[in-house]
Amino acid sequence: MAAVSSKKTTQSPPAKKLRGAMKRIPVTSSQDFPKVFTLAGGLVGFQYMPGKHPDSSFYIYLLPVGRRREAWKQFDVGEKGVAFQQLHPYSSGLKRPLLAKGTLTPWNPQKLKQAPPKLQRRAKNRTVLEVGFSIMPSHHAPKGKPSLLQKGIGTALLKELELQAKQKGVSLLAATVETHNEKSQRLLEKNGFVRVGGSVLKVQFGMAPHLHVYYYYKEL
């Protein structure tokens, strides 16, 4: 658990409404949120959880900075605000709802063989990180109101994943999206990912034995 300084800190200026999703605002002295910004009229921040091994996934979680439910109203979380606590009960994210999560997972040789030939050629002798992302389904807005995806959370998460990949020295990202998931496809294409073809993947767990997906990539 990250420690919070007990020393009195200088009060930061109030956060202004952002046009871009990723401007740093120094509003807290806590290490809980190395980066915080305004989104959908509220203050949110990222927490990072690196994998234990070089070939394991790197996790990013997007959470409201405020701990009280009054600070969550603009995110339409309702009474469901313990998703992050359930995932990580001893984390500093205790009592906050999980708005979105993302992963960066290194490709292994088997994963590369499943990709379309065009992407295989591009990825040859390079480190590839696969981007995974999800907006928490329990936080979807009621009918007639903008969803969290429409409020910019998906774009903010992708931009942070790209930044973390660059810091790791990686210049090629990949993503797989189910063929019926048009919202995720639009989100990737909006953020510069290029579709290179489709494939049918074998599924070890789940009701369907195969998964129909599109492959995307992005050069950083």
Q: How far apart are CA 147 and CA 217, in angstroms?
A: 26
When divided into structural domains, the chain yields a total of: 1
Q: Is residue 182 part of a domain?
A: no
Domain extent for 92? 35-166
Dist CA 86 CA 71 (whole Å) = 20
Q: Residue 112: pLDDT band by 50, 70, 90 thresholds?
A: very high
Q: Is residue 47 included in any domain, yes or no? A: yes
19, part of any domain: no
Query: Is position 79 within any domain?
Result: yes
Query: Among candidates 66, 7, 51, which has minimal Cα distance to 168?
Result: 51
Q: Has residue 92 been placed in a domain?
A: yes
Is 156 within 8 Å of 150 (Cβ atoms)? no
Let me know if residue 148 belongs to a domain.
yes
| 70-105 pLDDT per residue, tens | 777 667 665 544 455 555 555 554 567 788 899 999
Q: What is the distance between the alpha carbons of residues 118 and 58, in angstroms, rounded to a whole number?
A: 26
pLDDT score, position 95: 63
